[in-house]
């Protein structure tokens, strides 16, 4: 389905949330703001700025409300936030987030470990959030995504059953989500599995209800999996600048797929992202200054674009 915003692919930056919640260092609020401002200026249209979790659980996310309020002032930017429960959703609504994502682990073991809730309890949470959103005037109502985490497998359970995935996807849509997304939380996906599971879930919820993938590069298959997603019509891809986040289980592996490498691949394929790659790489170079001591990953920032590559300008001219 073509996107309403005129882009071929929406690259959604999740570094301020997924990246920062996975590293030991705390990034000061002013640096987070500078990062978000700079990426938006480079043309990134959606940024997940944080997670509405209690500060004692994730101190790095304590300023998410401030960040949402700040980022909302940036014209044309969709401000997204993760919400683990109804309380988080209430805080996100109060701050004025444009999009909220409730992560629901397909692995029930992971769900219990992560948010101490069963699948049934998470569906109830989704229903409660949908009921809250229904009380808001349309202009203040954020879009509501059910994020199916560990959709491709889980470090605690191994493979997860197809039937569990489709049952949860269907239940989330029935609960009132606007869409569902598939997350490869543990870096278990392969290109063939991406295609198979996207088709499988769409067979249950419909094509328009699944447009996004959240991929990790834990085992080096991140961009291959992104390409597989594009081939089955995925139009939103999450990524993290400099692959920030890493993975404690796989030293040397980046966390999410690397934003600048993804944008390079998309533009090299002639796809419109709305992003100025050169400016994006400049933002990436500032990242170590905002978060000293944390590793950055990826290839494009070191190698630079190929001679004669001029990003989307060249695409537009062809
Ligand atoms: Zn993730």
In the chain, the domains with their CATH numbers are 10-317 (3.20.20.70)
Q: 281: which residues sit within 8 A by CB, 6+ positions away? A: 260, 300, 301, 304
Query: Are residues 91 and 65 in contact, defined by beta-carbon separation less than 8 angstroms?
Result: yes
Q: Which position has the token pair 């598939």? A: 182
Q: What is the pLDDT of residue 315?
A: 47
pLDDT < 70: residue spans in the chain = 247-249, 313-318
Report the separation in Å between the CA atom of 61 and the middle of ligand 1, taken as the mean of its atom positions: 15
The per-residue pLDDT for range 26-68, each reduced to its tens digit, is 999 999 999 999 999 999 999 999 999 999 999 999 999 999 9
Return the pLDDT at 245.
86
Alpha-carbon distance of 167 to 200, in angstroms, equals 11
238: exposed, middle or buried (C-beta count within 10 Å: 0-12, 13-18, 19+)?
A: buried
For residue 308, the CA-to-ligand 1 centroid distance in Å is 34
| Catalytic pick among 61, 234, 247, 262 | 247
Cα of 204 vs centre of ligand 1, distance in Å, is: 24
* Catalytic-residue membership of 177: no
Which residue's structure tokens are 């597989």? 228
Neighbours of 137 (CB within 10 A): 6
Q: What is the pLDDT of residue 24?
A: 87
Going from the Cα of 289 to the center of ligand 1, the distance in angstroms, rounded, reads: 23
């Amino acid at each position: 389905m073509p996107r309403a915003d005129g882009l071929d692919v929406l690259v959604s930056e999740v570094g301020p949330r997924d990246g920062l919640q996975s590293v030991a260092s705390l990034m000061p609020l002013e640096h987070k703001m500078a990062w978000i401002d700079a990426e938006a200026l480079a043309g990134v249209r959606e940024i997940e700025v944080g997670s509405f979790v209690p500060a004692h659980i994730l101190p790095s996310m304590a300023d998410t409300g401030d960040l949402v309020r700040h980022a909302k002032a940036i014209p044309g930017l969709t401000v997204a936030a993760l919400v683990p429960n109804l309380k988080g959703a209430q805080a996100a609504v109060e701050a004025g987030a444009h999009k909220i994502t409730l992560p629901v682990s397909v692995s029930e073991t992971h769900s219990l470990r992560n948010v101490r809730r069963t699948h049934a309890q998470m569906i109830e949470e989704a229903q409660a959030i949908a009921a809250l959103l229904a009380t808001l005037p349309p202009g203040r109502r954020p879009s509501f995504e059910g994020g199916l985490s560990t959709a491709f497998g889980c470090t605690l359970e191994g493979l997860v059953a197809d039937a569990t995935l489709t049952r949860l996807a269907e239940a989330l849509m029935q609960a009132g989500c606007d869409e569902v997304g598939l997350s490869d939380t543990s870096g278990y996906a392969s290109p063939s599995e991406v295609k198979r599971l996207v088709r499988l879930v769409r067979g249950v919820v419909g094509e328009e209800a699944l447009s996004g993938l959240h991929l990790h590069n834990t085992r080096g298959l991140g961009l291959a999996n992104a390409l597989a997603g594009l081939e089955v019509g995925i139009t939103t891809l999450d990524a993290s600048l400099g692959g920030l986040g890493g993975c404690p289980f796989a030293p040397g592996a980046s966390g999410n797929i690397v934003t600048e490498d993804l944008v390079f691949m998309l533009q090299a394929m002639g796809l419109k992202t709305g992003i100025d790659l050169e400016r994006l790489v400049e933002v990436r170079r500032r990242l170590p200054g905002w978060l000293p001591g944390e590793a950055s990953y990826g290839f494009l920032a070191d190698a630079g674009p190929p001679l004669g590559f001029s990003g989307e300008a060249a695409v537009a001219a062809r």
